[in-house]
Chains A and B, each alone.
Chain A
Amino acid sequence: MADPTAPLLDVRNLTKIYPRRKGLFGKGEAFVALDGISFTVGRGEVLGIVGESGSGKSTAGRIAMDILTRSFGQVLFDGVDPLTMDRVQRRGFRRRAQMIFQDPYASLNPRMTVEQLLRTPLALHGLTGTPAEDRRKLVAALDLVGLPATLLNRYPHEFSGGQRQRINIARALMLDPALVVADEAVSALDVSVQAQVVNLFMDLREQLGIAIVFIAHDLPVVGIISDRIAVMYRGRIVELGETVAMFTRPRHPYTAMLLNAAPAPDSSAASLLAVQPVAEDAGMAGGCAFRPRCTFAMPACAVEKPPVRTLQGGHMTACLRDDLVIDGPLAGQSCC
């Protein structure tokens, strides 16, 4: 068993490169989807990952779950890399690390009842017990996600989007996971349903001690649920730190822009104007990738990729400018 004080998930220098060819036989430059990212998730911790589409946030989640291959880097789950695991360890990893996807409609087999859907993971992992034991587990999992046991014989089409997402979560819980990676798991839901499912994730962490990687693009939602947040831009983590600290004083101009752009009912209309257009020049070599959209860019930003600086409290930022003081939406409201 691994060191209980060590992080549950430790991702180091993860890189994903897609070779890209021009034409059928031509050569082309490679597309770097992940550019050496590192982060950890502690036991029972919630780490949020935010970023625009194409930032690499889903890629990071999928590689951490070992359902997508990596080009370089290490993924350590309880100190062991899935790539070096033997069959038994691998089976344990597949059981203890579960993933929940965005689309609750596409991720449930329409021809299986809720009972069959929830029993399948038990059967796949050879964990089937007596019928009475299994039934207790099923009912317990449904109860955790707030669904009554009377629904066991129903089919997915009989449920709303929010209920289906609860079934997905219940199915992940059947295997008693230590880590759940939720990729845009509440994005497709109506506001009031989204609030219910966000609360459910908070319950899972508190009642079962499950660690969660919560990947989403909605900053207020990520902020509510996450202890720490990693902000990704073009395949890199540009800022990583505790939620309240980040929302009070973002250290990277990109984080500040995202916070400005995410409309919360309590944010003002004026904040819309501060957002810079998306640069289309993706192939820009060298320097900070955010530079063309950054109001604080200086000549040095074009020269080298900004190294990661570690600040007080383990807060990390990949911005050359150490002189910036940017107010986030929580500035003046929190202690720190």
Chain B
Amino acid sequence: MDFLTLIQVLDSTVRLATPLLLACLAGLYSERAGIFDIGLEGKMLMAAFFSAAIAATTGNVWLGLLAGIASSLVLAGLHGVASITFRGNQLISGVAINFLAAGLTVLIAQDWFKQGGRTPSLLTSGRFGPITFPFAEEVKDVPIFGPIYSELLSGHSILVYLAFLAVPATWWVLYRSRFGLRLRAVGENPAAVDTAGVSVIGLRYAAVAICGVLCGIAGAYLATALQAGFVKDMTAGRGFIALAALIFAKWRPWQAMGACLLFGLLQAVALRFQNIEIGPIVVPVQVMDALPYILTVVILAGFVGKAIPPKAGGEPYVKER
């Protein structure tokens, strides 16, 4: 593999890791506050559709992004009502949200655009274009540094940079702000937070809402930056890979970025090479597809350091005893 191929694979790693990273951070906020969310997939899918639909009809990608976030927030609200207000089973709620999104997106798309459950292809104005860093063209031919700067770092859409900036931001919010302290506390011991006079319900709704916004951006990125328009089931399990990455990272932001980049790399390699030959052994493409899930099971099994979820995760909080 020559240097340029390596750069291209890493470049596509960054692109493919971005939706995973956004969804992973979304899940991080929710699960750190004690709300399990296996509905990341559904929220992303809904946002992907509405962002593409609005971007296609208005020609404005920013309106599309807003619509995507709003639709994802609606589903997040539903998850909040079911799991916080009515103290329902958070896992079942997540399953329902995934199906709701899978069905509604195609249903609405078919009724709206009549193109077999997809949106029209987006033109340039309806998509997030690449951002070229200063001097990217000039330094292109400098060996080593040139391709890294102009191919790998420059030329992504604004949402990619946003996703990677969200990592230190999340770290700061979680470990350096009062809100973050309370958020983590509510996921570990909500009764203590309640005793301190802070609203458990308010905090959990805030976490679910942040999760909705981030899933919305992830979905919009899929439909308006990575691809040009919505197609049926376009999230293709990314919500679950993000969930896997979250466990892999043991619910921590920097590690989440590492896990998402690793899983993005696996996707990029699988996309480019199909079967990989390492000496006499041929690794079939299906192994690359399954590897994120296998790695997560290994981590969950506790063979490589134990993944301990937030203690109060999945438990509805009952105030009166």
- The answer to whether A and B assemble together is no
